[in-house]
Amino acid sequence: MKYTVILNGCSSSFIHQAEEIRGFLSDNKQNPTLGYTIIFYNDEAKKDELMTNSPTTYIKLVKVIRYQPENFLEILEKLENNKETSLYIFPSDFAGSELSVRFAYRLLGSSLVSVNKIKLEKNELICHKALYSNNMQGEFALRKKPYCISIAKGFSNKKQSLKSTKYLVFKVDMTDIEKDDFIKKYDLKKPEKVIGLEDSKFLLAAGRGVRTRAKVERLEMIASEIGAKLGVSRPIAMNAWVPMNQLIGVSGAMTKPDLCIAVGVSGAAAFFAGIEKCKYIVAINTDSNASIVKSSNVAIIDDYQSVLEELFKIINSSQ
């Protein structure tokens, strides 16, 4: 059985993509398997770094102009028309989710997005993924090869060691592929503020109970003073009171801090998935029936503002 990982080496998130795929492969060891990684890249200077971080020993390098899904799909179709690969694994990012589905359609295979566990059987791939806005876990059988999956967020584990030996199977220049003539103008701007919620050790999480922009700004200030980062639930982000990259949950950041203080958070499953891997959760909420209370390690049932301001004073005076 052969599997192939597809990575976007044109992206600044390449290392993260490679880490999460290594985490996924390590949690889902299949026997016997032979793995390849196709890495798209556009910068010759970065080739060594891309190869070193590859999650598999065997690597295929494909040079492109930039990430463009229509072009990537056209190239993959050309390169992978030999039907040798049973399973394609894509990272959890926007590109991975998109490519997995569209590539499966083109290869007449089957696809599933945000998969968190797999088991390869003779004629099917058993996959697990979250459903019902993260309230339920579903088990699926994919039966049409090639199986194309994108993995769920949260598999990144920086402690894993890299295999030292890497073999370059081939290197090919596909910069002449142009399936993007529907684009008249193209402008990519880097985000102004990188938050890094995923790597934060201490998180202050704010939810719907924080009702105004001024209160969110106060939380930003408290978070910064006590050495935490502020993340928010969907209603706060939708009001544009903070940038969208501070959103926590299935459609935002999947964090794994050592400590999280959740204020005014109801604990909806789609949000909780974003702090599920937190080692210790403190909930402050007026509603003792809010699901965050059951999902926390310790909770205070009270107005979050009063408690947090008192806590802020205590932490400040102890520093």
Partner 1 sequence: MKILVCFKAVPDLDMMSDDDWVVDCELNVDISFVKAILNCFDESALEMTLKLSESMEGFNAPLNLTALTIGDKRKDSFLKTLYALRFDKAVRINNYEDIRFMPEVVAAVISKYVREIAYQDVIVLGRQSGEGDNAKTPLLLAEILGWPCITQVVKIELDDSASLKVTSMADDGILTQTLRTPCVLSVGNTPNSYMRIPTLRDKMKYGKTPIEVLDIESFDINPIVNTCKNDCELLSLKKISNNREGFIIDGRTPAEKAQILYDLYLKERLEEL
Site for partner 1 in 205-264 (CB under 8 A): 227, 234, 237-240, 244, 247, 251-252, 258-259
Judged by beta carbon, residue 123 or residue 165, the one nearer partner 1 is 123
Place of tokens 């992978």: 80
Binding status of residue 189 toward partner 1 by CB under 8 A = yes
Specify whether the CB–CB gap between 260 and 275 falls below 8 A: yes
Residues 5-44 that bind partner 1 (CB under 8 A): 8, 11-13
When binding is defined by CB under 8 A, the residue of 15, 101, 174, 195 that contacts partner 1 is 101
What DSSP character marks residue 153?
S
- Distance between CA atoms of residues 197 and 246, nearest Å: 7
Helix (H, G, I), strand (E, B) or coil at 191: coil
In terms of CB distance, is 123 or 164 closer to partner 1? Answer: 123
Q: Measured from the CB atom, is 161 or 194 closer to partner 1?
A: 194
Q: Which positions from 168 through 187 interact with partner 1, judged by CB under 8 A?
A: 180, 182-187
Question: Between 103 and 142, how does the x/- string for binding to partner 1 read (CB under 8 A)?
Answer: --xx---xxxxx-----------x--xxxxxxxxxxxxxx
Site for partner 1 in 253-312 (CB under 8 A): 258-259, 266-270, 272, 276, 280-282, 288, 291, 293-303, 306-311
**Concatenated DSSP letters for 41-74?**
ES-GGGHHHHHHT-SSSEEEEEE-SS--HHHHHH
| Nearest-angstrom CA–CA distance, 143 and 172 | 32
Q: Does 51 bind partner 1 (CB under 8 A)?
A: no
> Pick from 69, 79, 117, 166: which binds partner 1 (CB under 8 A)?
69
Give which of 210, 234, 208, 237 is closest to 222, Cα–Cα.
210
**Of residues 32 and 182, the one with the C-beta less far from partner 1:** 182
The DSSP code for 80 is T
Task: State the nearest-atom distance from the C-beta of 243 to partner 1, in Å.
Answer: 8
- Minimum Å gap between C-beta 236 and partner 1 is 10
Number of residues that bind partner 1 (CB under 8 A): 95
Q: Does 77 bind partner 1 (CB under 8 A)?
A: no
Long-range contacts, 247-255 (Cβ 8 Å, 24+):
248/197, 248/203, 248/205, 248/274, 248/275, 249/273, 249/274, 250/114, 250/130, 250/133, 250/134, 250/153, 250/274, 253/195, 253/197, 253/198, 254/153, 254/154, 254/198, 255/197, 255/198, 255/200, 255/203, 255/231
> Per the structure block, which two tokens stand in for 153?
């967020």
Tell the smallest beta-carbon distance from residue 57 to partner 1 (Å): 26
Cβ proximity to partner 1, 163 vs 211, nearer residue: 211
